[in-house]
């Protein structure tokens, strides 16, 4: 909800007032405040859609640039709530008494001036970027209608040039030409209508431009509180989306894309269906111009595996060590959690000589100490680990870790990015990785692995890759477990890019994780977080288990199987189920 600094006043005596829905009200520079669930009021400013290089959208909506992170949002003007009282610029005063008297007089007179223009910036300040970016101001009326949520398009990946601005009507015109068979759909970006395409859309017939590719990389695995994708599967935008009724699907499709690519009225027909299976779940693969690719799973995997804008030298390959010469390894685990790293190494049959872990959560430390019988050396906060300590504890053969993702995930509207908040902890991993590497002339094998969320900004992923000098691999836990959990992995482990193959004892379905007499309502669960309602699945928010004719949550032992852990691994200090969830997520 946007709270703006003036209210539209309907008056027959004044013809200067305009209806915000006609594309005129809320001009450039107007200050607004937005309220996000769980956060304080956040300030923003109405800006031109050209400022972000995006195409126009329907009347009655505005582009808002939020202060702090510089992100943009499309907001309907009808959502504007109460106005903030206007303030007059006070003159210089000689003393506190004069200032107080002026404030009291101002209040007694009703805080003048009033009206829609009370706090609008001066005319000469409304276009603050006019001299810096003159190409953005060629259309004066363009400032009042925003584009859909798409990313800037650049003509070159090496050098930033003037952004390509695609009008919303362009895609409609090009799709119309495709229907008339005067143009090939593989020559246009089905997400925005750009002709400057760079690759094929991984899910549907058609192409994709570089800007929409970046949007897809950020949004494909971004989910809202209800467990569904935050944006349209096709265009990564959309003001109104249709949610799939299949319990095992979490995809959304916006009304605009459905009506345009499938056919007029298709969205209204889908709304009437209950349940409605989306275009990825139905038995049919062709819906008008929307043709689902038969090999979309492999294309999607290839899409994330080959999205790298930077080229790095291949990781160093170490010669294999014969079995009789192998020695127990020494491991440095940063942001260790409940010591799942040591658990996996044991499952793989690896002999561990020393396991040094950095962790600050006391409950997680207790679990690790008890379950691994004191074999873990805990060293506290990662920021307190120095080069001297690394040399004292080492040499290490393996360094693993995954810094907190709170300020990196674009699901968090208040994220601070890679260089602020908890995002900066990545550089602690980078620092200690550098200290643990073999020195020049030391040819001993050395391996490392870093993990983080997929739904991060393209720029953050690029910066992490630049520091670690390698590109990430996207791995989704659904291939070997009952959880939808896609993550990026950076490292030099052999075979990281190979497709995952489930083993005989892997629990691929939720039913395999449940106790006797309990029935799973879903095959796999979407990512469970520390939020209390994240365990609810589907658009109707059902609990995932059915028992005694009633819905139920996952029991603690079932949560441990769901997380591919040993039974009762978290039962040491966590009698409460919510604490079980927190520990398992560690």
pLDDT tens digits, residue range 498-522?
Answer: 877 777 778 888 888 888 888 887 7
pLDDT of res. 132 = 39
Per-residue pLDDT tens over the stretch 286-334 = 888 899 998 888 888 788 876 666 778 878 888 888 888 889 999 999 9
SS (H, E, C) 228-289: CECCCCCCCCCCCEEECCCCCCCCEEEHHHHHHHHCCCHHHHHHHCCCCCCCCCCCCCEECC
Hey, which residues does 48 pair with through a beta bridge? none
> What SS3 state is found at 557?
helix
pLDDT of res. 367 = 86
Question: Which one is predicted more confidently, 441 or 579?
Answer: 441
The answer to whether residues 430 and 475 touch, using CB atoms and an 8 Å cutoff, is no
Phi, psi of 456 (to 5 degrees): -120, 165
Q: Which of 401, 403, 213 is nearest to 308 (CA)?
A: 213
Question: Which one is predicted more confidently, 485 or 533?
Answer: 485
* Report field, pTM of the whole predicted structure over 0.75: no
Backbone dihedral region for residue 234 (phi beyond 0: left; psi -120 to 50: alpha; all else: beta): alpha
Q: Compute the average pLDDT of residues 14-31.
A: 56
Q: In sequence order, which residues have a C-beta less than 8 Å from that of residue 200 and are 6 or more positions away? A: 186, 206, 207, 208, 299
Interatomic CA distance for residues 547 and 557, integer angstroms? 16
The length of the chain, given as a count of residues: 586
Q: Compute the average pLDDT of residues 151-156.
A: 32
Question: Which one is predicted more confidently, 12 or 253?
Answer: 253
Q: Compute the average pLDDT of residues 171-200.
A: 88
Question: Is 544 a residue whose pLDDT tops 70?
Answer: yes
pLDDT of res. 144 = 36
Per-residue pLDDT tens over the stretch 30-51 = 888 887 766 678 888 888 877 7
The answer to whether residues 242 and 253 touch, using CB atoms and an 8 Å cutoff, is yes
Burial of 217 (0-12, 13-18, 19+ CB in 10 A): buried
Phi, psi of 574 (to 5 degrees): -130, 75
470 is an active site residue: no
DSSP assignment letter at 538:
T
Per-residue pLDDT tens over the stretch 93-126 = 466 788 788 888 888 887 777 776 666 666 655 5
DSSP 463-518: HHHHHHTS--EEEEGGGTSSB--EEEEEE--TTTTSPP---TT---SGGGGSPTT-
Interatomic CA distance for residues 359 and 501, integer angstroms? 31
Q: Which of the following is catalytic: 209, 219, 254, 405?
A: 405
């Amino acid at each position: 909800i946007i709270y703006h600094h003036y209210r539209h006043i309907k008056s027959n005596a004044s013809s200067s007032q305009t209806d915000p829905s006609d594309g005129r009200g809320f001009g450039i520079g107007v200050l607004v405040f937005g309220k996000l669930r769980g956060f304080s009021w956040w300030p923003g400013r109405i800006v031109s859609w050209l400022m972000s290089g995006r195409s126009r959208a329907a009347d009655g909506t505005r582009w808002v640039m939020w202060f702090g992170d510089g992100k943009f949002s499309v907001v309907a003007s009808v959502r504007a709530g109460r106005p903030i009282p206007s303030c007059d610029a006070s003159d210089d005063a000689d003393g506190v008494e004069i200032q107080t008297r002026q404030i009291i007089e101002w209040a007694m007179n009703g805080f003048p001036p009033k009206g829609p223009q009370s706090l609008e910036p001066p005319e000469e300040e409304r276009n603050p970027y006019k001299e810096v970016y003159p190409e953005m101001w060629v259309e004066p009326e363009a400032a009042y209608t925003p584009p859909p949520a798409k990313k800037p398009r650049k003509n070159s990946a090496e050098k930033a040039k003037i952004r390509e601005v695609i009008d919303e009507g362009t895609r409609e015109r090009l799709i119309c030409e495709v229907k008339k068979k005067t143009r090939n759909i593989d020559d246009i970006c089905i997400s925005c209508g750009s002709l400057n395409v760079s690759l094929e859309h991984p899910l549907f017939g058609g192409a994709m431009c570089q800007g929409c590719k970046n949007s897809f990389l950020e949004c494909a695995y971004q989910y809202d509180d209800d467990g569904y994708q935050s944006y349209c599967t096709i265009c990564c935008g959309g003001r109104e989306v249709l949610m799939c009724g299949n319990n095992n699907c979490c995809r959304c499709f916006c009304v605009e894309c459905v009506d345009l690519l499938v056919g007029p009225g298709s969205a209204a027909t889908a709304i009437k269906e209950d349940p409605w299976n989306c275009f990825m779940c139905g038995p049919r693969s062709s819906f008008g111009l929307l043709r689902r690719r038969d090999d979309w799973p492999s294309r999607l995997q290839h899409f994330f595996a080959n999205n790298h804008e930077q080229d790095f030298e291949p990781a160093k390959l170490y010669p294999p060590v014969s079995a009789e010469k192998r020695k127990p390894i020494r491991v440095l685990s940063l942001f260790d959690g409940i010591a799942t790293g040591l658990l996996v190494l044991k499952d793989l049959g690896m002999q561990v000589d020393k396991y040094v872990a950095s962790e600050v959560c006391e409950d997680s430390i207790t679990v690790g100490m008890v379950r691994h019988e004191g074999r873990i050396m805990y060293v506290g906060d990662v920021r307190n680990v120095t080069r001297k300590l690394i040399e004292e504890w080492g040499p290490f053969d393996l360094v693993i870790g995954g810094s907190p993702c709170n300020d990196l995930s674009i699901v968090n509207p208040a994220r601070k990015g890679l260089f602020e908040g908890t995002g900066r902890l990545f550089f602690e991993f980078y620092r200690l990785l550098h200290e643990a590497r073999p020195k020049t002339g030391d040819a001993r094998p050395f391996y490392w692995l870093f993990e983080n969320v997929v739904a991060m900004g393209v720029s953050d992923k690029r910066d992490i890759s630049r520091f670690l000098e390698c590109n990430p691999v996207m791995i989704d836990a659904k291939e070997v477990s009952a959880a939808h959990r896609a993550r990026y992995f950076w490292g030099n482990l052999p075979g990281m890019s190979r497709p995952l193959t489930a083993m005989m004892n892997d629990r691929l379905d939720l039913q395999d994780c449940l106790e006797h007499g309990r029935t799973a309502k879903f095959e796999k669960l979407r990512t469970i977080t520390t939020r209390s309602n994240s365990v609810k699945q589907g658009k109707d928010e059902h609990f995932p288990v059915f028992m005694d004719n009633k819905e139920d949550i996952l029991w603690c032992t079932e949560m441990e199987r769901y997380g591919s852990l040993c039974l009762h691994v978290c039962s040491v200090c966590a009698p409460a189920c919510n604490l079980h969830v927190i520990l398992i997520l560690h």
